[in-house]
Amino acid sequence: MVDINENGKNYGLRDEIKTYWSARAATFDLSPGHEIFSETEREAWRRLVLKHLGEGQGRDALDLASGTGVFSHLMDDLGYRVTGLDWAEPMLERAKAKARQRERLISFRLGDAENTMENDNAYDVIVNRHLVWTLVDPKAAFAEWLRVLKPGGRLLIIDGDFVNVGLAERLLKRLADRLQRLGLLKPDPLHAPAELMETHKSIVSRVYFSDGARAEAVAAMLRETGFERVAVDTDLRAIHRAQAKHWNLLKGLARGVQHRYAISAEKPA
């Protein structure tokens, strides 16, 4: 879908997504699930990466849709030589500031996760977190990631179905909303400014996975693209338990019943 903006230029869905995440940058790190707020959670993320990718040992890693650099820093801590790519300049500004503050040699660059402009066979590892569900053309994106990976290189996707809400999650959220209105439950941490929520709903309704990015569908598409050793890992309980401590009780329980997963895959050698 392409609209014409006030300057007469094409303004399509991808532009809307870029504008939305640029606007989210200011509050992005305030939300559990984006920033890492405890060493317990950080260690749980490290274990997940080590399980699927191993130690960095100086290998080259590309963090796609790197945002404010949270996962890039995690990969850097594990010994990877990290490049973070994001197309929202306000996100990149914050990511670069973190790297300067921590004196880390992480390269953050402006770029598109669906068309990276990176060289063929350039990276040992590609990672992304909460990117796939937003993709306009995941088939093209997966082919691009396959191209950029070295033979034998590994891909790690961390994502979820944020569209289909199960009965247990609906009940927990309704109860949480009611108790918050009564002042009996602390409010959730700020997730996004209220004025952006309608924009978010509109975007979600038009991306490829508008019906929800289920792990099985993503894994099947990776295999069709040419990836091998595709494995779905739904055991993210340690991460969710650590995150839950920064939500109210009911929101923390709701996080644990969502369809969230990690998918690892390999480029044929």
Q: Is 228 left (phi over 0), alpha (psi -120 to 50) or beta?
A: beta
Q: What is the pTM of this model?
A: 0.90
> If we measure between CA atoms, which residue out of 175, 130, 132 comes closest to residue 24?
130
CA-CA distance, 173 to 15, in Å (whole number)?
31
Q: What is the largest CA-CA distance in the chain?
A: 59
Pick the residue with more confidence: 4 or 269? 269
| Segment of 21-35, 92-106, 185-199 carrying the highest mean pLDDT | 92-106
pLDDT of residue 259: 93
- Report the chain's mean pLDDT, rounded to a whole number: 91
CA-CA distance, 240 to 176, in Å (whole number)?
18
Q: Helices 249-257 and 167-181 meet at what angle, rounded to 10?
A: 170
Q: Is the pLDDT assigned to residue 34 strictly greater than 70?
A: yes
- The position carrying tokens 């066979």 is 121
pLDDT of residue 45: 98
Bridge partner residues of 159 (DSSP): 261
pLDDT (tens digit per residue) in 152-209: 999 999 999 989 887 777 787 788 778 878 887 777 666 667 778 889 889 999 999 9
CA-CA distance, 67 to 81, in Å (whole number)?
17
Give the structural domain span for 9: 2-266
pLDDT classification of 1: cutoffs 50, 70, 90:
very low
Alpha helices by DSSP H, 112-164: 138-148
Tokens of 222: 């990776």
CATH code of the domain containing 214: 3.40.50.150
Q: In the Cβ-directed half-sphere of 267, how many Cα atoms lie within 13 Å? A: 21
Long-range residue pairs from 40-44, CB within 8 A, at least 24 positions apart, any chain: 40/242, 41/239, 41/242, 41/243, 42/74, 44/238, 44/239, 44/241, 44/242
Bridge partner residues of 154 (DSSP): 125, 266
Q: What is the DSSP letter of 113?
A: T
| Segment of 115-124, 199-208, 238-247 carrying the highest mean pLDDT | 115-124
Number of domains into which the chain is organized: 1
